[in-house]
Structure formats: structure tokens, C-alpha cells
Structure 1
Amino acid sequence: MSAFDPRDILTDELVERIRSRAAAVDAGNVFPDEDLAELRDAGYLRALVPSDRGGLGLSLAEVSLLQQRLAEAAPATALAINMHLVWTGVAKVMQDRGIDDLRFVQEGAAAGEVFAFGISEAGNDLVLFGSDTEAVPQPDGSYAFSGTKIFTSLGPVWTQLGLHGLDTTSPDAPQMVYAFVGRDERVVTRDDWDTLGMRGTQSRTTELHGAIAPADRVVRRVAPGPNPDPIVFGIFSVFEILLASVYTGIARRALDLAVETAQKRRSKKTGRSYAQDPDIRWRIAEMALAYDALPPQLAAIAGDVVHRADHGARWFSLLSGIKHRATATAKRIVDDAMLVAGGSSYFASNELSRLYRDVLAGAFHPSDPESAHATVASAWLGPIEQ
């Protein structure tokens, strides 16, 4: 069996076209519609859908490689598409564990639907374990959701929004409700995405005014708080791995640009290229040493999800850890690449300038640095005594 080659799907030609548009997307603060159209044609939106349901049948580890490659070309495009891939990945994780509740996500993705991720809420540091959004049960088994979701990537283009809310009125309340709603007059997408970086994601604020999730799109009801339910594990695992993949791709692109620049720049003092300068060589070596650790870790932990490795209570610390390492390492590598490139990298037209702004977003995604450290500390030291 031959090894998976991301270039079979993200061809060199496609990657270069996407890269060629990234600067204009960022400058215009617009959604990369052309990128989405080409990625859809390439089968990218159905990459994690099983082949017998119309997809490419790829594994989480293989899609991680694809996302790294896409992020090298256009980080914002990769991060936006990530949120669709998360839901198709969750569907696969659950299906692999004998739960087919998200079959409609797989079939929808194969048919061209775009799924967005409506979990984040302002001030909600419980993330998956709580919600300020009201989920009100209806007589026909549907739910009406009211609340505000932030950082809703794919804001202008999604067709289905996967979200959660808190049911406080049912006999077994409180219950966290996971469901999907479509676009209608009860869903308002604000045009408010004006940020420092990752501008092409168009991760706009979404207002829910009694948005209805039909009964057949209410996929899970689980108790609030830490919960071993497969949907919680599925969301957390796929989200953290694919997010780390995007930032690993940014790190690789920054490293490549630093190498390219060092080979081109010449010292007036010595007449030699900066690639021969001992200090520059040391800095690039440090960047490479840090980067080289990331892809194998991603491949290993993605493989463990696929093969259902038993990490027990350590799962969440391992997943938080790979996200934190990838985002923090990527930022350090981009910082060093800026120094290698010199003052020209400070101009907005320089690709490194855009990467510098894009990589800053990594600290704000769950798990943030504080949460990641708390999770890992609890895994190794036990919970804080009450």
C-alpha cells in the first residue's frame, strides 16, 4: 500500500493558486470564495467522509497532512475549512465507535453542504462543558436555540451550523444539547469580522433568535461538565488536532521563507550570503529543531484517535498539549523568521508580515494556554484539593 501523498488532492498548481489569492483576501477582509470553490471541486469538503457515503475516505492523520499543506499557502483559508472538517471528523470518530448519529453530516458534506462550528461564546470558559445559549425543547422533539455565538468561521457561506445550548426546562435538566440549525430569519450573521489577522476566515458573530433544530438534527443530550460522551471526545480530539495542523503549516511556511531569505540576502560586511552567517544559521537551526517535532506528534496522536488507543484520563491533556505546542511553537518560529528576514518583513506586503498577524490567533483558540496548563497539571498532579 503506497503512502498517502497530500499532493494528490492539493496539487502544486492548486496550492499556488490559493497562495496567490491569500494577500488580496487578507487586504480586502473578505471570504476566500474562489478557494472554497476549488477545494470543493477537489473533494476537500468530503475528505473525511467514508468512500461508501460519497467521500474520499481519508483518515484524520491524512487530513492533518492536508491541512498543514493548505495552511502553508493560506492560513485563513485552512482555518476556515477546519471548522467544516471538524464536524465531518466528529461524525467519523463517532461512526468508528458504533454511533451513526451524524450520518446526515457525512451525506450532507458529500452533497456539498458547508458545516460551521457554533460552540464559542463570549466569556464562556466552560466551552464544551457549559453554554449560555438557551436550548428550549419543542413538542415535536425539535429545539429552539437563543443566544450569541462568536468566532463562527465560514460566516458568509455555511449552510448548516453545528452548535450546543443548555436545556434547563426538561424533566432531566440541565442537559447540554448538540444539534444543527440551518439559515433562516431566526439566525443573524453580523458583518463584524475586522481583526488583526486570519481575516479570510470571516469568523463572524452569530445571533440565534429561536433558531430551530429539527428533531432529526438533535444529535446528543449530555450532562453539563466534564463528560466522557463520544461527542465531547470527538469534538475535542478532532478540533485540537486539526487546529494544531493549521499552525504547524504556518510554522513550516515561515521556516521555508526564512531559509529562502537567508540564501538571498548578502552581507555588505562580508560579501557572503546570510546563509553563511553563524548567528543566522543557529537561529534557523533552532527553528527547524522546533518544527521537526510537530508533524510526528500530530501523526501519532491522530493515529491514536483512529485506532482508539487507551490513554484514559490523559486523553484531554495530550490533546490540549498538541494544540498548545503547535500554536506556541509556530509563533516562536514566525518571530525568528521575521528577524532572519530583516526590516523588509515589517512591511504589510511581505508574506511574513501576514503570517505574523495570522499566527497570533493561535493563543485564543481552545484550549488557551491557561486551560492547557491546568489540564496537563491535573493529569500529572491530580486535581486541586478543595
Structure 2
Amino acid sequence: MSTTPENPTPETLLHDQLLERIRERACGYDRDNAFFTEDLAELSEAGYLRALVPTELGGLGWSFADAVRGQMRLAAAAPATALAVNMHLVWTGVAKVLRDRGDDTLDFVLREAGAGEIFGFGISEAGNDLMLFGSRTVAEPQAGGGYRYTGRKIFTSLSPAWTRLGTMGLDTASDDAPKIVYGFIDREDPDVRSLDDWDTMGMRASQSRTTVLDGAFAAADRIVRRLDPGPNADPLIFGIFANFELLLASVYAGIGDRALELAVAAAHRRTSMKNGGAALSQDPDIRWRIADAALAQEAITPQLLAIARDLDELVDHGSFWFAKLVGVKVRATETAKHVVDQAVRVSGGSSYFAGSELGRLYRDVLAGIFHPSDDESAHSTVANAWLGPLES
């Protein structure tokens, strides 16, 4: 990909000056539990939200490998900003997965994202461990093929800013019910409410609030799938799963990268009175911790990029696709936790202060354990891929 203003790479679009401004704002957003309004404006102006939209539809035409590199860079500057932007990129990525495979179902997402619309991800529900394979939200069929959704969606990142919300619910009323119905609703719908209930340990700027649907309407041309509940081989499910896991892993890989940088800087900055004022970079124990973190962290990026390239190149991993995707998510999040922990130990008590960047990374990285697929679900998926399903 050439480096021109019309066709930027992740490194030229997310240039160092832009990322430094984003990094400088992150502490204030975290302290004030505020949405990343200025970050979003700069990223939108730069075209970052159009990264995965084809050039002919007004986008940058990036590959998934490009998006991985971009999200790692952004997360190293401001994890909460990257995590929230992820949810928009997921939907444009799903649309790209389908379009690359000859399915134009979500081309309207690409067209509208290319025109500046922002997509939210309204899928998660409290107590729903079935995730994509079941729903507590009611999807009520309407005359003409539309649906009204009634339920609560949690962890809706970009809550103050999304203009379109991709969601799903369970239709139990149609003749062929039950069906999981996926559709898109508009921000202007009077039957959509966003609660001001986001007050968390970390990832605060994402403002991933609860969304209440009180009969929110998705028109017939915005209903994109009606699927049987339970595991499903539909390309939409694959697209959601692939993009969510891959882009999520990229965010946490970026956190790990930044934590390692901060640990190295701290080792050079801090000194030891026991060793006559020598820098801690000369202490064997500190050197071991940084080497341990680096050994773990350096394995993540090559795997992320390999899986992204396979997605770009339509590689057929068959039943192992889901195992690979959950594997990279778990490895990226668990590695990031380990690297941040080592960095905190290297940096000392200063990282315990609320305004410390490393202290914020320590809080932000914990969110990784809550995103699907969790550790238990991932192990089940991998076991099924290698051993087959449990015998009944």
C-alpha cells in the first residue's frame, strides 16, 4: 500500500503527533469518566472510522491486517478509545467479510459508514452466556417484514455517539419460530434509551452504557438475518465472531506494547541506592522481568497478523477457524495482563497513583477477561475442534 494522503497506511494516518494528542487526553477522560469526544472527532476527520470501507464506497480500503496494526497503535495511546472504536470497526469488518465472499447483505453498512455514520454493537445481554446463539431480547415481527426489539443491551460502547445500532433478539411469534433476528436501528428512534450507568474501574472513556430497547424498530430492509438459535455456520455469525475476536485481541496487544515501553523507560529512569545509584536497568532481577515480558509480548503480533491475513485471503480453516480466533483473543488478553503486571513491578509505587499511565493500563487491561470468548468458553471451543463435541 503506497503512502499518500489519499491512501494512508495505519502508520501514516495514526501518526505520532495525532497519537500523542490522544494519549495526553486519555488521563483526563479516565479521571472525569468522560467520553472521548475530541479523540472521536480527530479520528473521524482523519478517516479512521472508514478504514475497512472499500474505496469505491468512500473508505480507505484497508485490509484486516491493516486494521490490526491500526488498533494496536491506537490502543497503545488510549485503550478505552480504541476499545470503543472497535465496535464500529467490527460492523464494518463484518460487512467486509460478507462482501469479500460475494454477500452484499451489509453493503448498506459500508455505504453509510463511508458517509459518516457511526455503528454501535448492541448484542451483549446480562445473564446471556449463549451470546450469539440465544437472546433475552424480544424481536416482535411487524407487518411489512420489520421488527420491534424490546430488551436491554449491556456494554454498548460508543453510547454517546453511535447513529446506527446493530442488534438482535428472539422471534417466538412467527410460524417458523424460534428465530434469532439480526437488524439495525437508528439513533433517532424514540424507543431507544441510553442509560448513564457507566462508572467502572477501567476503560472508562468507552462509555459502554446500557441500551434500553422499548420496541425499537428495524425496517424490513435493515433485517439482515433470521437464524435458528444455537451454533450456526451462517457467514454473518462467522463475520461477527472473527472481527470481534481479532480486533479485540489487537487492542490488548497494543496495551501490552505500551506497558513494555513504559517498563523499559522506568528501568532506565529509576536508580538503586544499594547499587551506588546505578540504573535499575543494570539490576539482574529487573532485567529478567523485562525480558520475561518481552518474550511473551513479541509472540502476539505475528499471530494476529497471520490470522488477519488468512481472513483477508479467504483461507479455509474449516472447523478450526473458531478455535484459532478464540485462541488469539485469550492469548492476547492474558499476555497483556502478564506484561502490564511485570511493568508495574518494574516501575514501582508510582504506578499505584491514580494519574499514572501504567496504573490506568493496569485497570484497563482487566476488562479483557470479561469480553467473549472468556477462558472457559475458549477452552471448550478448542477442545471441540480437536476432540469433537462431547458425547451425549
Alignment TM-score, normalising by the size of structure 2: 0.97
Q: Does 1:244 align with 2:249?
A: yes
Deviations 1:215-248 (A, max 9, x none): 1111111111111101000000001000000000
Deviations 1:96-123 (A, max 9, x none): 1111111111111111111000010001
Q: What letter corresponds to residue 344 of structure 1 in structure 2?
A: S
The partner residue of 2:12 within 2, 8, 22 is: 8
By how many angstroms is 1:6 displaced? 2.1
Distance 1:74 1:140 in 2: 44
Question: What residue number does 2:158 align with?
Answer: 154
Distance 2:313 2:178 in 1: 33
Question: What residue number does 1:358 align with?
Answer: 364
Question: What residue number does 1:349 align with?
Answer: 355
Question: What residue number does 1:367 align with?
Answer: 373
Question: What residue number does 1:223 align with?
Answer: 228
Moved >6 Å (runs of 4+): none
The partner residue of 1:56 within 57, 60, 65 is: 60
Q: Does 1:112 align with 2:116?
A: yes
Q: Does 1:256 align with 2:284?
A: no
Question: What residue number does 2:87 align with?
Answer: 83
Question: What residue number does 1:22 align with?
Answer: 26
Distance 1:65 1:229 in 2: 28
Question: What residue number does 1:302 align with?
Answer: 308
Q: Does 1:336 align with 2:342?
A: yes
Secondary structure, aligned partner of 2:361: helix
Secondary structure, aligned partner of 1:48: coil
Q: Does 1:142 align with 2:146?
A: yes
Deviations 1:45-94 (A, max 9, x none): 10000001100000111011000000000000000000000000000000
By how many angstroms is 1:140 displaced? 1.3
Q: What letter corresponds to residue 266 of structure 2 in structure 1?
A: T
Distance 1:171 1:309 in 2: 38
Q: What letter corresponds to residue 201 of structure 2 in structure 1?
A: L
CA RMSD of superposed structures (Å): 1.0
- When structure 1 is superposed on structure 2, of 345-354 and 81-90 the one drifting more is 345-354
Question: What residue number does 1:201 align with?
Answer: 206
Distance 2:386 2:349 in 1: 43
Distance 2:2 2:341 in 1: 37
Question: What residue number does 1:132 align with?
Answer: 136
Distance 2:129 2:289 in 1: 37
Q: What letter corresponds to residue 256 of structure 1 in structure 2?
A: E
Question: What residue number does 1:381 align with?
Answer: 387
Distance 1:283 1:378 in 2: 35
Distance 2:343 2:130 in 1: 35
Distance 2:213 2:61 in 1: 34
Question: What residue number does 1:290 align with?
Answer: 296
Deviations 1:233-283 (A, max 9, x none): 000000100000000000000000000000011111112111111111111
By how many angstroms is 1:2 displaced? 5.4
By how many angstroms is 1:384 displaced? 1.8
Deviations 1:7-39 (A, max 9, x none): 211011100000000000001001000000000
By how many angstroms is 1:349 displaced? 1.3
Q: What letter corresponds to residue 359 of structure 1 in structure 2?
A: V
The partner residue of 2:322 within 316, 340, 345 is: 316
Distance 1:43 1:350 in 2: 30
Unaligned runs of 5+ in 1: none
The partner residue of 2:168 within 153, 164, 172 is: 164
By how many angstroms is 1:5 displaced? 4.3
Distance 1:385 1:28 in 2: 52
Deviations 1:126-177 (A, max 9, x none): 1011111111111111100001100000011110000111111111111111
Distance 2:372 2:91 in 1: 16
Secondary structure, aligned partner of 2:170: strand
Question: What residue number does 1:93 align with?
Answer: 97
Q: How many residues align?
A: 386
Question: What residue number does 1:212 align with?
Answer: 217
Question: What residue number does 2:285 align with?
Answer: 279
Question: What residue number does 1:123 align with?
Answer: 127
Secondary structure, aligned partner of 1:56: coil
Question: What residue number does 2:106 align with?
Answer: 102
The partner residue of 1:269 within 256, 269, 274 is: 274
Distance 2:224 2:389 in 1: 31
Distance 1:310 1:50 in 2: 23
Q: What letter corresponds to residue 356 of structure 2 in structure 1?
A: N
